[in-house]
Amino acid sequence: MDYRYNMCNRITNLIQNTMMDIKGKKISILGAGKSGLSAAKLASFLGADIFISDSSDKVECEDYKNFENELGEHSNRVLDSDLIIKSPGIPNSIEIIKKAKESNIKIISEIEFAGFFTQSPIIGITGSNGKTTTVELVNKIFLEAGYDSLLGGNVGIPFSDNVLKEIKIGMNRAIHVLELSSFQLEHTKELSLEVGCILNISKDHLDRYDNFEDYIQTKLKIIKLLDESNYLIYNKEDKVLREKIPKNKFIPFKAADCSSIRIDLDQISLKGLHNISNISAALGIVKKYSIDINHIENTLKKIKPLEHRLEYVDTINGVAVYNDSKATNIESMVAGIKAFNKKMIIIIIGGLAKKESDFLNAIRETKAKIKFISCYGESGDYIYDNLKSEFSCEYNNKFSDAVNKALVQCEKKDILLLSPGCASYDQFSSYTDRGNNFKKIIVGLT
């Protein structure tokens, strides 16, 4: 059969069976980043007229030049549209969003937009911590079981990329596994999930939301993306979720649920109680699909920790070094500390702390494990003052100085752990940049 004829038939059938026909429609896309450009490519492929608007005058990827565009502002040209797709990093408070709402122009997320154009099952996973590890695990289990599993969302692969791939190739056993951030959930109302999962909720992104309750309610929007025939699983060991999730309506999970697998946890590279909880969540998700336990166990034996998430770096003079730069809040930092038993920890903490962070109360219960704390960065002096009454610690502004000070404190069989509990933006472009810098210092010593 002629490829072009087959493709046209596929697109026609898709439009007939979905909620949205965008051929000839005007679509404005706010943000020329990865998700915005991905939505533009999908929409253009399906026949829409695209206008891209980015408030920055510097855009990394030049693919925006393939579409009508503006840089450096969001002008009223954005309002000449039937639909606006908003990138997740753009706050709802900007003027053009207010004008669009006043003009009754529909505003949706890239996630919701892509969801209109797939008939395949969609799994959505959210939470303050552990999302990426869990979606990676679920995706690998499905691949092991023979599904055409497509990992996307906040993990760094736009959902629109995967939907466009699915349309072009034609997949018989496609299933979409999405990591959903609170930013993505803000303007996602009509996405239809087959399974939803909330791992946990802790104070995060309070620079974006008016208060913690607003953040909680944004996370809970995932519930509204499920109909009566589908289900949500949630962590019943999380205090916020226990209080907020309607009882007897959804399916709870707990860390102990992973006891259903028949392998020793020592055979699994994912360390710590928080990762056991992530594994339990993944088991709850794939249970709906009756996947053979052998596929699950094979995946668990093979999976490795993701980069910058309790990542083993090296052993130097008997000291095991771990990079947990992704621990950008107190909760994930504490989880990193608790992942290690029977060994003393020298930990590097610092960067840009979140508002009202209380490090002392957070780690007091782990005091017996911690030999020394090396504080650094913009919030490092505050953290040092917070901890010095009960912990052996020192403050150095520069990250490299803090790492070297931590190394001096290490003895054979100790653990050296970078688990900052803070954002990285005071000295680095991202947690990835911070983690790579840490590894570079360590590798330079070997």
Report the pLDDT value the prediction gives residue 142, as an integer from 0 to 100: 98
Does 311-443 match 113-302 at the fold level? no
Report the pLDDT value the prediction gives residue 410, as an integer from 0 to 100: 96
Mean pLDDT throughout 377-401? 96
Report the pLDDT value the prediction gives residue 148, as an integer from 0 to 100: 96
Q: In angstroms, rounded to a whole number, what is the distance separating the alpha carbons of residues 234 and 158?
A: 24
SS3 409: helix
Q: In angstroms, rounded to a whole number, what is the distance separating the alpha carbons of residues 379 and 103?
A: 43
DSSP class per residue in 430-443: SHHHHHHHHHHHHH
The pTM for the full model equals 0.84
Question: 179 - beta bridge partners?
Answer: 125, 153
First to last CA, the chain: 59
Nearby residues of 162 by Cβ (< 8 Å), 6 or more positions away: 114, 150, 151, 152, 176
SS3 30: strand
Q: In angstroms, rounded to a whole number, what is the distance separating the alpha carbons of residues 123 and 337?
A: 30
CATH number of 23-104: 3.40.50.720
Q: Edge-to-edge strand order for the sheet containing 311-316?
A: 311-316, 319-323, 415-418, 345-350, 370-376, 393-396
17: pLDDT strictly greater than 70: no
Report the pLDDT value the prediction gives residue 8, as an integer from 0 to 100: 52
11: pLDDT strictly greater than 60: no
Mean pLDDT throughout 48-73? 93
Q: pLDDT tens-digit profile of 100-150?
A: 999 999 999 999 999 999 999 999 999 999 999 999 999 999 999 999 999
Q: In angstroms, rounded to a whole number, what is the distance separating the alpha carbons of residues 239 and 200?
A: 9
Sign (positive/negative) of CA torsion 197, 189, 116, 179? negative
9: pLDDT strictly greater than 70: no
Predicted confidence band of residue 18 (pLDDT cuts 50, 70, 90): low
DSSP class per residue in 311-372: EEEEEETTEEEEE-TT--SHHHHHHHHHT--SS-EEEEEESBPPTT--HHHHHGGGGGGEEE
248: number of CA atoms within 13 Å, CB side?
A: 0
Looking at residue 186, its amino acid is E
Higher pLDDT pick, 163 / 93:
163
Question: 423 - beta bridge partners?
Answer: 352
Percent of residues, the chain, with pLDDT higher than 90: 77
Report the pLDDT value the prediction gives residue 4, as an integer from 0 to 100: 41
Output the CA–CA distances (angstroms, integers) from residue 132 to 85, 135, 153, 188, 409, in the order listed. Answer: 24, 5, 10, 19, 32
Predicted confidence band of residue 174 (pLDDT cuts 50, 70, 90): very high
Higher pLDDT pick, 264 / 60:
60
Residue-averaged pLDDT of the chain: 91
Q: Write down the domain spans for the chain.
A: 23-104, 113-302, 311-443
Give the architecture-level CATH label for domain 311-443: Alpha-Beta Complex (3.90)
CATH number of 113-302: 3.40.1190.10
206-210, 233-237, 279-283, 416-420: which has the highest mean pLDDT?
416-420
Predicted confidence band of residue 19 (pLDDT cuts 50, 70, 90): low
Q: In angstroms, rounded to a whole number, what is the distance separating the alpha carbons of residues 377 and 398?
A: 6
Nearby residues of 103 by Cβ (< 8 Å), 6 or more positions away: 79
58-67, 185-194, 386-395, 424-433: range with lowest mean pLDDT: 58-67
Q: pLDDT tens-digit profile of 326-345?
A: 999 999 999 999 999 889 99
3: pLDDT strictly greater than 50: no
Report the pLDDT value the prediction gives residue 5, as an integer from 0 to 100: 38
Alpha helices (H) along 220-268: 239-244
Q: What is the DSSP letter of 423?
A: B
Report the pLDDT value the prediction gives residue 280, as an integer from 0 to 100: 92
Residue 104: left (phi > 0), alpha (psi -120 to 50), or beta? left
Q: In angstroms, rounded to a whole number, what is the distance separating the alpha carbons of residues 387 and 411?
A: 22
